[in-house]
């Protein structure tokens, strides 16, 4: 009896031990699963942060490239302007030296030269003032645009971080859908960045498609003359309404030089040959209007309209 009681106690003790062991193993498995889930969530959050950082870096790099390209273009333009300014300065120095030499030899120059130089200097100062005002306006617009883009980028990044900071819940398919949505967002952002960097260049395979999206008035005015003669004549007459007899293509605020002092200087002037231009387009002088042949230097509305149609300009 004693041996049977001991065996029963031992059996109960073994059952309790096995039960505790199974419970302990289940707790360990549950803890391990929770740890794996936590590590997966941290990995997903880190991956999303890296993707957003890469998108932001690519956008910053594209903006830097665009800014660098604009800076190079501006530098080239300034270099050409500086060369012209230096050339003008050297010519002014040469003129002053020649004037002093002539004065020492007993020659006297008319006062019209000094007045002409004063008018040129006044015109140059006015153009420099207008250019400085336009540059300040462009700089202010660029600063406002840059600040707006930075604010949008920061807001977008904050929204992504807030969305990723939510606790993870769901099964494995939902995680896969989340990864797919993140990759789609990254692809969309990269495509948008490339579009922002290349939207200046509209020529290419999609150029014809971009023309179809233009407003009707814009297309009719700028592109209609390429396909319809009536539109060409209509647009040409619209331009002719701004042309007056005796007018000039040179802007009115430009300072024009005085006429040549003698025939020797006049022989070096380049005179346009309108008859040769018309022969180049396979038209004889007999086809030209009478006022064109009477005075080829007059900029009349009829002549410009006629030559514009002959040359095919819209």
Q: Are 52 and 154 in contact (CB under 8 A)?
A: no
Helix, strand, coil percentages (3-state) for the chain, rounded to 5, are 75, 0, 25
First to last CA, the chain: 122
Among 294, 79, 55, 74, which Cα is nearest to 193's? 55
Q: Are 98 and 230 in contact (CB under 8 A)?
A: no
Among 157, 172, 173, 208, which Cα is nearest to 48's? 157
pLDDT in tens, the chain (314 residues): 678 888 888 888 899 999 999 999 999 999 999 999 999 999 999 999 999 999 999 999 999 999 999 999 988 888 988 898 899 889 889 988 988 888 888 777 766 667 777 887 888 888 888 888 888 888 888 888 787 888 887 777 777 766 655 544 444 444 455 555 545 555 554 444 444 444 434 444 445 556 667 777 777 788 888 888 888 888 887 777 666 666 666 666 677 777 777 788 888 876 655 444 443 333 444 444 444 444 443 333 444 444 444 444 43
What is this structure's pTM?
Answer: 0.30
Give the burial class of 296: count Cβ atoms within 10 A of its Cβ; 0-12 exposed, 13-18 middle, 19 or more buried.
Answer: middle
């Amino acid at each position: 009896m004693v041996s049977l009681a001991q065996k029963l106690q031992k059996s109960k003790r073994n059952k309790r031990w096995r039960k505790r062991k199974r419970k302990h193993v289940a707790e360990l498995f549950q803890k391990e699963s929770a740890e794996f889930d936590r590590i997966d969530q941290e990995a997903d959050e880190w991956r999303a942060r890296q993707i957003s950082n890469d998108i932001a870096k690519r956008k910053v790099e594209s903006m830097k490239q665009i800014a660098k390209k604009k800076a190079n273009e501006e530098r080239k333009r300034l270099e050409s302007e500086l060369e012209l300014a230096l050339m003008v300065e050297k010519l002014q120095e040469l003129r002053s030296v020649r004037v002093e030499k002539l004065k020492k030899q007993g020659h006297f120059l008319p006062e019209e030269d000094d007045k002409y130089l004063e008018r040129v200097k006044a015109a140059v100062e006015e153009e420099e003032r207008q250019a400085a005002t336009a540059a300040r306006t462009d700089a202010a617009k660029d600063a406002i645009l840059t600040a707006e883009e930075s604010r949008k980028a920061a807001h977008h990044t904050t929204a992504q971080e807030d969305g990723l900071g939510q606790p993870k819940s769901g099964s494995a398919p939902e995680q896969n859908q989340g990864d797919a949505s993140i990759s789609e967002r990254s692809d969309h952002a990269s495509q948008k960045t490339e579009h922002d960097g290349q939207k200046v260049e509209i020529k290419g395979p999609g150029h014809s498609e971009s023309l179809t999206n233009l407003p009707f008035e814009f297309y009719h005015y700028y592109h209609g003359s390429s396909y319809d003669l009536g539109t060409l004549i209509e647009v040409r007459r619209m331009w002719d309404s701004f042309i007056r007899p005796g007018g000039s293509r040179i802007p009115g605020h430009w300072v024009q030089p005085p006429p040549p002092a003698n025939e020797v200087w006049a022989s070096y002037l380049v005179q346009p040959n309108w008859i040769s231009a018309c022969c180049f387009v396979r038209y004889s002088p007999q086809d030209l209007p009478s006022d064109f042949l009477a005075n080829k230097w007059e900029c009349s509305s009829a002549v410009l309209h006629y030559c514009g149609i002959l040359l095919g300009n819209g």
